[in-house]
Structure 1
Amino acid sequence: MRAQGLRGRIRTESTLTFVCGLLAGALMVLVGRELWSPSDTDGLQHFAEVRDFARESFVREVSDQELLDDALKGMLSSLDPYSRYYDASQTQDLLRQTGGRYRGIGAVFRSPVEKGQVLYPLAGSPASEAGLRVGDQVLQLNGRDLQEFDAASFRTALGNPDPEGIRLQVRGLDGEERQLSVIPGSIVDPSVRHARMLDLERHIGYLAITRFTTETGDEFAQAMEFLAQRKMEALVLDLRHNLGGTLSSAVELARRFVHEGIIVSTEGRGEPILYEADPAGADLKGMPLVILVNASTASASEVLAGALQDHRMAALVGEATFGKGMVQAIRSFGESGGRAKVTTSYYYSPNHRNFERSADPNRDYGILPDLAVPLLAEERAPIRSFLESYSPGPDVLPALEAWAAESGQDLIPPMPVDPQLESALELLRGRYPGPSEQDK
């Protein structure tokens, strides 16, 4: 059940079999000239007949665009669990996942967000530049009282592309009301979070990577600089609940630790592609490193974990990874705004291990950790919640801590009870955690 549940997160379910199957006709008629030879008129005519039957007989009216989108989704989703088609609206979510950016003002709100209280603005964001502060309470948005918004409409309003910007009336923690104008922009959605020192005596730092985007390399560099300023000499890198993302970013991070050899290879129908180390860029070579992994560590995060494990640059602690070792190519299609993602090859580690679970019928995992540390059922949800939460930067942390102290509220997510993290720290302290350590 665990694997099935996770696979549901990685793969968005296709539409009803009836719609997906027969609507392939719409696809073939509209793009048939690109896919089939002109002589294959019988196939095109058959699909056109089925398409017309569906359009005329289906229980409700369907637009040509809906038929086309569903046909494309059905065609690709039937190939394997990872290939799929994104229509124009879904493409925006895909771009946020892989590009690491979204349109908004760059403010983190307390839950529930429709209550409109700012936890803190992100550094360098439009919200920060406009003067939004820790603890500000939104009273009105574009002249409308906050009570008129639900969560969805509030988020939509904050991403309004109007060049005039968003008019906010806010009340600060000091009781003063202010009028602000914020112009939404392209915001980096942080993929590197919770950078902090966990053991000052032994100089052990920690950070989590929630996914790999085109921004992750720069975010990681900034986090490592932050930790270096605090005299970090060893690192716990948390890849739990990281479902992957952009391969190039995972390779970029691996190259900072690995000074020679292969990082990963991809092998499919064409010639294998090798991603090799860059000796000049391996500035973190030799740093004591433990990587936390679990059953939700997948794809690009398995590439990084597998490379560092094979090169003996890191010890893996936690649970077996998911096992998504297949590469997808993404292509955009002109004015339609849609994008297609199709599996093209397999990942192979430096020791030529195939991560893909489906490649071996006797295996239901990807990579085994060097030190297996199980978690209790009640420990899992708090750990995942912590990893997925945003973490305040040093520019807002003092104000956030003062607010928390004055109000007596838990505004900064505390690190939960975490036997896997404790075991990683024990390894870096030079002690091998036995059952007695893990069962505490």
Structure 2
Amino acid sequence: AEALDTLEDIMTRIDMEYVDRVTATRIIAHGSESLYMALGNERFLNANVRRGQEDGVAALRRLLIQKYWNKPVGSRLEARMVVTEVCDHANQLLRLNPAAVVMEYIFGGCNALDEYSHFLTPDRYNDLFGSIQGEFVGIGIEMESEKGRGMHLVNVLLDSPAEEGGLQPGDFIVEIDGRDCRNLSTDEAASLLRGVRGSQVDLAYENPGGKQSRSVLTRRPVTVHSITRTLMLDDDQGIGYIRMTGFQSSTTEELDAALRNLERQGMRSLIWDLRGNPGGLLETAASVLDRFIGTGVLVSTEGRSHDQNQTFRADGFNTRTMPLVLLVDENSASASEIVAGAINDHRRGTIIGRKTYGKWSVQSIIHLPGGTGLKLTTAKFFSPNHQNYAGVGISPHIDVPEPKDLQVTYFRGRTSDEIRTDPDVVRALEVLERRVTRN
């Protein structure tokens, strides 16, 4: 009953708040498809069905196709009745736990939505809030699964247990507490890496050349800084550099501190690096733009729910007028694109790099019972000139092809010399130095 209540709650939220209209028929159809697929998945069957039940599995799959495939569903109450009916069949044929059936309808139902809307398990819900608030308990890595190789370290956070233990971006974790993780998914490895403050995890990892090392790390609170590099690139010309890797609750405060630091060193123009920045909080994007744009609209949002229609305007307080270059690439998304859209429409600076990702929608995080949650697209956002670049991205004013030998990810701990020779930064320096010369 609790799982059914959660499904009904999710359908209510989708009906009231999701950015587009979605019928109950479509949500339940995706749920039936998800259960059908799960009944062909060895891992699901091992966890939920006793051995020797092949005939029952085949019978339930046939029933799903014959009776429930795209079955018209007129309301949330009717949806609940349909799923209850499927649970009864699953119990009779397989003694299948109703909660397992309903969870497939929950996950499958969310697949009827856009790619940014998801049901959040308790672990994912906590991870998401940790990234928004800028602190979590762990070892301080960002990783992606590469089948056959392990967990590719996309990033190692500064001052984290992982950095202190010798792990570096580009390494591959191949073993976690004695378990080989070369063929695990990112989520499976993440669950092995989770643990309480003070607990330890034993890792085996390889560098890109294949040399293996071991490290025992102690989990502790890790602070995620959204500004990871602040330096003067050219003292004579007064050109500063700031790298921003996210938009979280502390970002505006971090930016103010970084700007004051560079201004004390004589900064007269700025390179603002948003490459690889996947976004974050909408309000933070508007707040940091306030530091560079003095008047007018910064971004607006539009949704089906009235409270999703907002316009953010510059307040003219604490605004800098210095020459500005913005660096973006194909991994600059969401809040990063809000910044790029405003800089472009207000003609506030030069955008250099590659076309941005093209994610122009707003997600709300909704708390559900049992520590779970729903990440739901509730609005689309628009640049000051009311453009939405969803699926398209913003093209830079100056396109710089990415060198083939350059790592795709821009690591947070790069040296000053590496930054100065980065092709995008070299081009940005040329633009700003030419502007200084012309002035």
What TM-score bracket applies, with the shorter chain setting the length? 0.5 to 0.7
Residue matched to 1:389: 412
State whether structure 2 residue 354 is matched by structure 1 residue 327. no
Once the two structures are superposed, residues 137-176 of structure 1 have per-residue CA deviations (whole angstroms, 9 ceiling, x without a partner) of 9xxxxxxxxx9777999997895346xx88xxxxxxxxxx
* C-alpha deviation, 1:21, in angstroms: 8.0
- Measured in 2, the distance between the counterparts of 1:16 and 1:90 equals 24
* C-alpha deviation, 1:71, in angstroms: 2.5
Residue matched to 1:192: 227
- Measured in 2, the distance between the counterparts of 1:148 and 1:87 equals 23
- Measured in 1, the distance between the counterparts of 2:353 and 2:75 equals 49
From 103, 116, 124, the counterpart of 1:82: 116
From 13, 19, 25, the counterpart of 2:35: 19
**Secondary structure in 2 aligned to 1:194?**
strand
- Measured in 2, the distance between the counterparts of 1:151 and 1:414 equals 34
From 389, 403, 412, the counterpart of 1:355: 389
Contact 2:34 2:104 (8 Å CA) reproduced: no
- Measured in 1, the distance between the counterparts of 2:363 and 2:315 equals 24
- Measured in 2, the distance between the counterparts of 1:349 and 1:195 equals 28
From 374, 381, 392, the counterpart of 2:401: 374
From 218, 226, 242, the counterpart of 2:261: 226
Structure 2, unpaired ranges of 5+: 1-29, 40-73, 143-155, 167-175, 182-188, 201-217
**Secondary structure in 2 aligned to 1:330?**
strand
Structure-2-length-normalised TM-score: 0.64
> Over the residues paired in the alignment, what is the CA RMSD in angstroms?
4.2
* C-alpha deviation, 1:331, in angstroms: 0.7
From 87, 90, 100, the counterpart of 2:134: 100
What aligned pairs does 1:163-242 form with structure 2 within 5 A after superposition? 184-185=220-221, 187-242=222-277
**Secondary structure in 2 aligned to 1:388?**
coil
- The letter for the 2-side match of 1:19 is L
* C-alpha deviation, 1:345, in angstroms: 1.5
State whether structure 2 residue 74 is matched by structure 1 residue 51. no
* C-alpha deviation, 1:230, in angstroms: 2.0
State whether structure 2 residue 434 is matched by structure 1 residue 430. yes
Residue matched to 2:9: none
Contact 1:347 1:355 (8 Å CA) reproduced: no
- Measured in 2, the distance between the counterparts of 1:388 and 1:15 equals 40
Residue matched to 1:437: none
Contact 2:31 2:109 (8 Å CA) reproduced: no
- Measured in 1, the distance between the counterparts of 2:104 and 2:417 equals 41
- The letter for the 2-side match of 1:45 is M
State whether structure 2 residue 420 is matched by structure 1 residue 420. no
Residue matched to 1:299: 334
* C-alpha deviation, 1:92, in angstroms: 2.1
- Measured in 2, the distance between the counterparts of 1:88 and 1:327 equals 22
Contact 2:32 2:105 (8 Å CA) reproduced: no
**Secondary structure in 2 aligned to 1:248?**
helix
Residue matched to 1:407: none
Structure-1-length-normalised TM-score: 0.64
Contact 1:289 1:314 (8 Å CA) reproduced: yes
Identity %: 30
* C-alpha deviation, 1:196, in angstroms: 1.4
- The letter for the 1-side match of 2:80 is L
What aligned pairs does 1:259-274 form with structure 2 within 5 A after superposition? 259-271=294-306, 272-274=309-311
* C-alpha deviation, 1:256, in angstroms: 1.0
Residue matched to 1:289: 324
Structure 1, unpaired ranges of 5+: 1-13, 24-34, 109-118, 128-133, 138-146, 167-181, 358-364, 392-410, 433-440
* C-alpha deviation, 1:103, in angstroms: 1.5
- Measured in 2, the distance between the counterparts of 1:20 and 1:262 equals 48
Contact 1:77 1:85 (8 Å CA) reproduced: no
